Amino acid sequence: MTETRIDVSVEQLLRELTPQVIGSVVRRYHDFSAAEDAVQEAALAAALQWPKDGLPDSPRAWLTRVALRKMSDNLRRESARRRYEDEVASHTERLHEHSDASDEDDTLVLLFMCCHPSLTQASAIALTLRAVGGLTTSEIAHAFMVPEATMAQRITRAKQTIKSSGVSFQLPTNSERSQRLRSVLKVLYLIFNEGYTTSTGTELHRSDLSHEAIRLTRIVQSLRPNDTEVAGLLSLMLLTDARRNARTNEQGELIPLAEQDRRLWNQQQIEEGVALLTETLPKGSVGAYQLQAAIAAIHDEAPNAADTDWAQILALYELLKRMSDNPMVRLNQAIAAAMVHGPQKGLELLDELKDDARIKNHHRLFATRAHLLELAGNTSEAIKNYRAAAAKTGSLPERNYLFTQAARLADTT
C-alpha cells in the first residue's frame, strides 16, 4: 500500500472510479443491476478502509477485484442464481489469468450500452446518469422535472430491460452508434450541467462530473470526428466550464455572470471552444448544441457584461425555441428579451410558462421573475419571488444568494 495520493478526496475518487468499475463488472457478468450493487459494496469498503490504511497502488484495480469477489459471492449465495455457478467459476478463472484487465476504462462502453435502443430515450438517459454519472435518483428526478418515485421506477425498469435484452458489452458498430448518439449526447449534457451547477448540496460545482462529461465527449468526438453536434456539445461544455473559477468567491458564495471577474475565465478553453464552433458552423445544418455553444461564445468573448450582444443572443434563442420544446430555453429567451426590449417584455414571456407543469414550480422560474421584477422597479414582488425561489432550490449556494438578494431589496424599502 502507498500513501502517495492520500491527499486526494476519497469520496471524489470513488465518484470518478465507480462507473469505470461498473463497466468492468458488467463486461464479465452481464447483469447490470447486480453489478451496480456489488460495486456499491466495494465502494463502501473502500470508503471505510482507504482513509485508515492509505490508497492502494491502483485504486481502480482494487475496487474491481473487491467488486468481482462480492459479485461472485452474491451469485453463489442466491439460490435463484445457482444456474450461474459454472459461469462464475469460469469468470473467476479469467480474472486470475488476466489480472491487468481491470486497468481498462469501460466507461464509454457502459455509456453506449445504457443508451441501447431497447430503452426509451428517457429511460436510457436516466439509467446512464445513474450508472455513468453517479447521480442520485433525486438529482436525476430534478433534472427531468419529475417526482423521485417516478424516476426510481423508471431506472429499475431500465435495468431489467438491459438485463433481459442480452446486449453484449462492447462498443457498438458505426450504425448502432448513430442510433444511440442522440441519447448519449443528452446524457453527457445533463451530467455536465449537474457538475456545473449542482441541484443539491453545499457546493455550487461538482467538477468531477463536469470534467468527466468533457472527457467522455472528447472520446465520442474521436469516434465521430465529422459530427457537428458532437463538436457543438464539446464546444458548449468548454465555453461554459471556462467560467467556473469566477462563479464563486473565496467563501463559496455565488457570483452571477454580470458580476464575475472575467480575468479568471479560462482563456485556453474559450479559444478551443470558439475554434470548434468556428470549424463546425459552416458544415451544414445547425443543431441545438451548436446554437447553445454560439450563445456561450457571445458571453465569453464580450470584454464586459455591458458589451454583451444581447440582440444576437435573443435571435439565437428564438432559433433554439423552434428546435426544442424545453421550458428552460423559453426561460432564457425571456431573459434575453428583457435585456433587448425591457423587463416587461421578459415578464410577459415568463407568464407563458406559469402553467407548464415541467417548470411552474422550478426555482429558476421564480428567480428569473424576481430579477426581471427588480429591473422593472417592482421591489415588493421581486422580494417575494426571490424568497420563493430560495425555498425551492436544493443548492445551498443558490439558496443563500437568493435570500441575500431578497434581504438587499428589503433593506432599500
Q: What is the pLDDT of residues 325-344, one digit of tens each?
A: 889 999 999 999 999 999 99
Residue 382: CA atoms inside 13 Å, Cβ hemisphere, count?
A: 21
Query: What is the distance between the alpha carbons of residues 255 and 84, in angstroms, rounded to a whole number?
Result: 55
Residue 333: CA atoms inside 13 Å, Cβ hemisphere, count?
A: 22
Lowest mean pLDDT among 178-187, 244-253, 378-387: 178-187
Rg (CA), the chain: 23
In sequence order, what are the residues at sequence separation of 6 or more whose Cβ sits closer than 8 angstroms to the Cβ of residue 74? 34, 37, 38, 81
Query: What is the distance between the alpha carbons of residues 372 and 362, in angstroms, rounded to a whole number?
Result: 16
User: Mean pLDDT of all residues in the chain?
Assistant: 83
Residue 266 pLDDT exceeds 70: yes
Residue 84 is predicted with a pLDDT of 43
Give me the residue label for grid cell 428546435. 323
Residue 75 pLDDT exceeds 90: no
Q: Three cell numbers at 65?
A: 477485484
Query: What is the distance between the alpha carbons of residues 382 and 397, in angstroms, rounded to a whole number?
Result: 19
Which of the 8 DSSP states describes residue 58? S
Residue type present at position 80: A
Which of the 8 DSSP states describes residue 324? -
What does pTM read for this prediction? 0.74
pLDDT in tens, 145-172: 778 888 888 888 888 887 777 666 666 7
User: Among residues 406, 390, 407, which one has the least CA distance to residue 398?
Assistant: 390
Angle CA 35–36–42, to nearest 5 = 90
Give the N- to C-terminal CA distance of the chain in Å, as an integer: 62
pLDDT in tens, 354-375: 899 889 999 999 999 999 999 9
Which of the 8 DSSP states describes residue 395? E
% residues pLDDT > 70 (the chain):
88
Of 5-9, 118-122, 300-304, 394-398, give the range with the top mean pLDDT: 300-304
Residue 97 is predicted with a pLDDT of 41
